[in-house]
Structure 1
Amino acid sequence: MKWFDNTALTLVIIGAVNWLLVGIFKFDLVAFLLGDLSWLSRIIYTVIGLCGLYLISLFGRINEISES
């Protein structure tokens, strides 16, 4: 399960960098590479969003690890 946590965290970081580019430069890297809301870019956005939701569980797991 650790590999899934690391993969999800990596994808969320990539998504955060994309939002940073959008906020500072108005440049959407995903749309630039895959097309403006093409089916593939929508899949990428969905996967990154699901990884972000999954990582909410990380808060509970960090608490468990620190108590051990």
Structure 2
Amino acid sequence: MKLLNCLFLTIGIVGAINWGLIGLFDFNLVTFLFGFNSLAERGVYVLVGLSGLYMLMFYPRVMSPYDKTYK
């Protein structure tokens, strides 16, 4: 499970960096690396979206004052 958490966190970070580059410089790193409207580009965006959904399950753990997992 730890490997899956690290994988999705890394993909989420890549997505966040890409959005930062789009916002600051109007530069889309994913399109630059994989080409416009390619299957690989769409795959990266799907993985980033799934990573975001997966990371939503961490909110109950972070918000719970009784969880000793991360202390």
Asked if TM exceeds 0.5, the reply is yes
How many corresponding residue pairs? 67
Matches within 5 A, 1:28-43: 28-43=28-43
Q: Deviation string for 1:23-62 (max 9, x for gaps)?
A: 0100000000100121110001001110101100011122
Q: Show structure 2 runs of 5+ residues with no match.
A: none
- Name the structure with the higher helix share: 1
Provide the aligned C-alpha RMSD in A.
Answer: 1.2
Larger relative contact order (C-alpha < 8 A, sep ≥ 6)? 1
Q: TM-score, normalised by structure 2?
A: 0.86
Q: Show structure 1 runs of 5+ residues with no match.
A: none
Q: TM-score, normalised by structure 1?
A: 0.89
| Structure 1 moving runs of 4+ over 3 Å | none
**Is residue 2:27 matched to residue 1:27?**
yes
